[in-house]
Amino acid sequence: MDKKEQFESLRVELNRTKNWPLVYMFKFIFPADSKKQALVESKFSDDSVISQNTSANGKYISITVKEVMLDADSIINKYIEVSEIEGVMSF
């Protein structure tokens, strides 16, 4: 099964409940590493709103990104791009 097929249920849900374009919120968690953070942030446009939190023990960083997305496929493509960064979990 390829990565796009793994996201088919998300695609169906987004297309059923959303009006396009929309501001979509992505959330990612990964081990605290400035290189990983830069890689994740580089996948989004300069117009996106990015906020971050560090875990209490400082071992993990969570990033929330809000960006205008044109359709379900553009959201899924972002998840696929970010999934190629080792150690990054998407929510």
Domain containing 16 — which CATH number?
Answer: 3.30.70.260
* Position with higher pLDDT, 70 vs 5: 70
Q: Give the model's pLDDT for residue 8.
A: 87
Q: Which residue is it, tokens 């099964």?
A: 1
pLDDT confidence tier of residue 4, bands split at 50, 70 and 90: low
Q: Give the model's pLDDT for residue 77.
A: 93
Overall average pLDDT of the 69-74 stretch: 94
Cis (ω within 30 of 0) for the bond into 21? yes
Please tell me the distance from the alpha carbon of residue 14 to that of residue 17, in angstroms, as a whole number.
5
Domain range for 53: 3-90
Work out the mean pLDDT of the chain and round it to a whole number.
92
* Predicted model pTM: 0.88
Contact by Cβ (8 Å): 88, 82: yes
Please tell me the distance from the alpha carbon of residue 56 to that of residue 38, in angstroms, as a whole number.
21
Q: Give the model's pLDDT for residue 51.
A: 97
> 4: which 2 tokens?
């796009």
How many separate domains does the chain show?
Answer: 1
* Position with higher pLDDT, 82 vs 5: 82
> 70: which 2 tokens?
């044109």
